[in-house]
Amino acid sequence: MRVITGTARGAKLVTLEGTDVRPTTGRVKEAMFSIIQFEIEGRRVLDLFAGSGQLGIEALSRGARSATFVDQSAKAIDVVKQNLLHTKLSEKATVLKSDYATCLAGTQAVYDIAFLDPPYSKGLIDAALPLIAPHMAPNGAVICEAAAKDSLPQEPEGFGHLRVYRYGLTVVGVYRCAER
């Protein structure tokens, strides 16, 4: 797994090991960033369920102002920190060991872009979206990755348009925060 483009282009990222780990494929990551390619520069990014941190790191590499990485796994947090050091992007990052609900309940931060790539088939996107809505800038984008067999929420509170893209066994849903 590598950073696709930007200041850290080509940097190889460490991933977590084990059968529960499912890093975003290169094809899906490229598709995600093609969708928001003109919205990244100078933006504040949230990488919830960060895992290896590859989505937030890709955003930083492409010019995001800052990224907050959140994961409840100590091993994942160690991997994120290692990847940030390797890509020389640590100074733009905040790394938090926390579950998504506690993190979102305890912050006043506002984000322009949020990535949600939780473990599949556990209903975590449904649970996290209403908690993220108050932390999104107007017209902010929330990009969710899920298994194609899972359904994404069609009209979560606080969000308008949903666009779904299919890539084999994976779907990417892009939600836009409703104007306040």
Per-residue model confidence (pLDDT) at position 161: 67
Strand order through the sheet with 136-147: 93-97, 66-71, 44-48, 111-116, 136-147, 170-177, 159-167
Q: Where are the domains of the chain?
A: 26-177
Strands (DSSP E) contained in the chain are: 44-48, 66-71, 93-97, 111-116, 136-147, 159-167, 170-177
The topology (CATH level 3) of 26-177 is Rossmann fold (3.40.50)
Q: pLDDT band for 8, please (50, 70, 90 cuts).
A: very high
Residue type, 140: G
What is the average per-residue pLDDT within 139-145?
93
- As given in the structure block, the two tokens for residue 103 are 């993190």
Per-residue model confidence (pLDDT) at position 32: 93
Say if residue 180's pLDDT is above 70.
no
